[in-house]
Amino acid sequence: MKILVTGGAGFIGSAVVRMALERGDEIINVDKLTYAANLDNLKGWTERSGYAFEQADICDSAAIARIFSEHQPDAVMHLAAESHVDRSIDGPDAFIQTNLVGTFQMLQAARGYFDTLSPERKDRFRFHHVSTDEVYGSLGEDGLFREDTPYAPNSPYSASKAGSDFLARAWSETYALPVVTSNCSNNYGPYQHPEKLIPVVILKALAGDKIPVYGKGENIRDWLFVDDHADALLLILKTAAFGETYNVGGLNERRNIDLVRTICQLMDEIHPRPTPHEDLISFVADRPGHDQRYAIDASKIERELSWKPSVTVEEGMRRTVAWYLDNEWWWQAIRQQGFEGQRLGLASKEQEHDG
């Protein structure tokens, strides 16, 4: 299948591109190459036959229309987005542009292109809109996010993704564009930008710097190894019926503080220092509007598409820690471009103190 992937130079998009190429699909990777992109994520893959790259902004309707017309894809996997909650607090503009306006332009271009397809190609065409469980807001102690949980986004990031989900739904209902949507929990694994929690912990621990845990570390996330997400995304693209939505999750709920301690223990084992890495943990000012708990009910995708995560959180964390230790070249290059693990997402300067 010839798949147009947006955001294929990002963390999850590059995992999708690598897996799809490995399985024999063709890829057109459309990426603007923002700060979050890294073509090193595709090192060794870009020379393969069946891979094409187009540097373009998804908000640029003319560029996107040309790419559809020139490459004639069988399907779209739309992952391009601004993805970091803390950055959305500091600067929501780019989130509105890319996540809302960009998704709108992608849907419009896909709709124009879809109209040109033969009936057989129309039957097979899918626009897979890739989204997050954060659209559902925050859970209390009990309950899980299901596909029919009402949307209640709390951050500029999740609000922009929720809006993009509604646009995708509307283009499916109103224009019969064959959309499928998936909402996934927190991903982790190799090639994740060092701004996100897991790489923050690994790289701070490695440097012997303080490990910042927001608030009391009692917020809960449901962690999924990135390759398990990529596998679910390709399965949904190829087997889900038009109009369906699926929640994808790791069945791995952890309090942040427990996860951080697990990573510290792995670091003690793999890269010991004179005192335990846990001594570096520092509780810092909380994120404004910090969602308390995310947890996914993945029973629909398990039941209907026979998908299950294959990597336990213990195994995945071990692989991830080992990967960052073995691939210093990868994250040092990002540091050299100016990101050195600084605190992001404090809406006001007054909050900037250690708790």
Residues near ligand NAD (CB under 6 A) are: 6-7, 9-13, 31-34, 36-37, 57-59, 79-83, 98, 102, 130-132, 161, 184, 186-187, 193
Applying CB under 6 A, among 200, 202, 267, 295 the residue interacting with ligand TYD is 200
213 binds, among ligand TYD, ligand NAD, none (CB under 5 to 8 A by kind): ligand TYD
Applying CB under 6 A, among 197, 248, 311, 321 the residue interacting with ligand TYD is 197
133 catalytic, yes or no? Answer: yes
Q: Which stretch binds ligand TYD (CB under 6 A): 18-26, 64-72, 114-122, 208-216?
A: 208-216
Which residues, 6 or more positions from 187, have their beta carbon under 8 angstroms from its beta carbon?
Answer: 11, 12, 223, 224, 225, 226, 229
134 catalytic, yes or no? Answer: yes
59 binds, among ligand TYD, ligand NAD, none (CB under 5 to 8 A by kind): ligand NAD
291 catalytic, yes or no? Answer: no
User: Which whole-number Å values give the CA distances from 335 to 10, 203, 341, in the listed order?
Assistant: 16, 11, 8
Q: What's the closest the beta carbon of residue 133 comes to ligand NAD, in angstroms? A: 7
d(CA 306, CA 328): 37
* Closest alpha carbon to 321 in 217, 228, 192, 208: 192
d(CA 43, CA 46): 7
256 binds, among ligand TYD, ligand NAD, none (CB under 5 to 8 A by kind): ligand TYD
Helix 103-114 to helix 61-71 angle (10° resolution) is 40
Helix 256-270 to helix 197-207 angle (10° resolution) is 40
Q: What's the closest the beta carbon of residue 283 comes to ligand TYD, in angstroms? A: 9
* Closest alpha carbon to 42 in 92, 1, 8: 8
Query: Of 57, 134, 227, 244, which one is the catalytic site residue?
Result: 134
**How many Å from the N-terminal Cα to the C-terminal Cα in the chain?**
52
Q: What's the closest the beta carbon of residue 138 comes to ligand TYD, in angstroms? A: 10
d(CA 14, CA 29): 9
Q: Could you give phi then psi for residue 54, rounded to 5 degrees? A: -130, 115
233 binds, among ligand NAD, ligand TYD, none (CB under 5 to 8 A by kind): none
* Closest residue to ligand NAD in the complex (CB): 10
Applying CB under 6 A, among 102, 212, 249, 250 the residue interacting with ligand TYD is 212
Q: Does 193 bind ligand TYD (CB under 6 A)?
A: no
Closest to ligand NAD by CB, 244 or 277: 244
Residue 24 backbone zone (phi > 0: left; psi -120 to 50: alpha; other: beta): left
d(CA 84, CA 223): 16
19 binds, among ligand NAD, ligand TYD, none (CB under 5 to 8 A by kind): none
Q: Which residues are catalytic?
A: 133-134, 157
Contact residues for ligand TYD (CB under 6 A)? 85, 186, 196-197, 200, 212-214, 219, 221, 256, 287
